[in-house]
A and B are shown apart, each in its own frame.
Chain A
Amino acid sequence: EAGVAQSPRYKIIEKRQSVAFWCNPISGHATLYWYQQILGQGPKLLIQFQNNGVVDDSQLPKDRFSAERLKGVDSTLKIQPAKLEDSAVYLCASSLWQEETQYFGPGTRLLVL
């Protein structure tokens, strides 16, 4: 069974630029999560989808971050414009359903200069 796929693996941008990350969850997984992991910290949930609907986006900085999962399968996370403090690893995870175990992708490492 293929795992959670993410791209790109690394991205370097300058502040005020835009960036987008892509995630393809495990086939059949209805729930998809985006996490932000700042160096030295645990992952922090940004947004959770159930199929193509948003379940929880309470910690998403909506003035600059947006995410979508239009067909209930893959998802994109966008930052526009980026700030220095957005430098982090962005992890995508999926689970069969909300209360099931999460499986993580390898992450996208973002550096904002």
Chain B
Amino acid sequence: GEDVEQSLFLSVREGDSSVINCTYTDSSSTYLYWYKQEPGAGLQLLTYIFSNMDMKQDQRLTVLLNKKDKHLSLRIADTQTGDSAIYFCAAYLFTSGTYKYIFGTGTRLKVLA
């Protein structure tokens, strides 16, 4: 079956690094995404990684993919108070004849000043 799991909460101090983890079950995932959701807003695409990559860096964001363990992580360097939000991991896969996004439950990041 298709499932994406995340821890529910993470609290860090401003200036520290944050690491948000995600595990997924379906090995047919082609793309893996990270979205950010601020209160009252839709989902904002942060970054994505193709399943044949191990790492992708984009400014303060680093995505690591361990295909063997089906583990994805998002590292935010020099975390700021504006990074406080809910972060969703999503796996994009081809199943039952169509492409489909499967979202995790989201990790609420709280950045302490």
Q: Are B45 and A56 in contact (CB under 8 A)?
A: no
A to B contact number (C-beta, < 8 Å): 54
Q: Which of the segments A61-69, A71-79, A104-112 contacts the partner chain?
A: A104-112
Q: Are B42 and A104 in contact (CB under 8 A)?
A: yes
> Is B100's CB within 8 Å of the partner chain A?
yes
Q: Are A43 and B41 in contact (CB under 8 A)?
A: no
Q: CA of A42 to CA of B89 in the docked complex: distance in angstroms?
A: 9
> Is A103's CB within 8 Å of the partner chain B?
yes
Among the listed A33, A42, A43, A101, which residue makes an inter-chain contact with B45, where contact means beta carbons less than 8 Å apart? A101
Q: Interface on chain A toward B: helix, strand, loop, or mixed SS?
A: loop
| In the complex with contacts A40-B105, A42-B106, A43-B103, A98-B98 CB distance below 8 A | yes
Contact size range, B: 20 to 34
**CB closest residue in chain A, given B44:** A104
| In the complex with contacts A56-B98, A58-B96, A42-B104 CB distance below 8 A | yes
Chain A residues closer than 8 Å to B104, beta-carbon distance: 42
**Which of B30, B33, B92 has the most CB atoms of chain A within a 10 A radius of its CB?**
B92
> Is A45's CB within 8 Å of the partner chain B?
yes
- From 59 to 113 in chain B, residues with beta carbon under 8 angstroms from any chain A beta carbon are 88, 90, 92, 96, 98-101, 103-106
Among the listed A42, A56, A104, A105, which residue makes an inter-chain contact with B100, where contact means beta carbons less than 8 Å apart? A56
Chain A residues closer than 8 Å to B98, beta-carbon distance: 48, 55-56, 98
Chain A residues closer than 8 Å to B55, beta-carbon distance: none
- From 16 to 49 in chain B, residues with beta carbon under 8 angstroms from any chain A beta carbon are 30, 33, 35, 40-45, 48
Q: Are A99 and B96 in contact (CB under 8 A)?
A: no
- Minimum C-beta distance from A59 to chain B (A): 10
Q: Please list the residues of chain A having a beta carbon within 8 angstroms of any beta carbon in chain B.
A: 4, 33, 40-45, 48, 55-56, 58, 91, 93, 98-99, 101-107, 109
- 9 residue pairs of the A-B complex, CB under 8 angstroms, read A42-B106, A43-B88, A44-B103, A55-B98, A93-B43, A104-B42, A104-B44, A105-B42, A106-B41
- Top 6 closest pairs, chain A to chain B, by CB: A42-B103, A104-B42, A104-B43, A106-B42, A98-B99, A56-B98
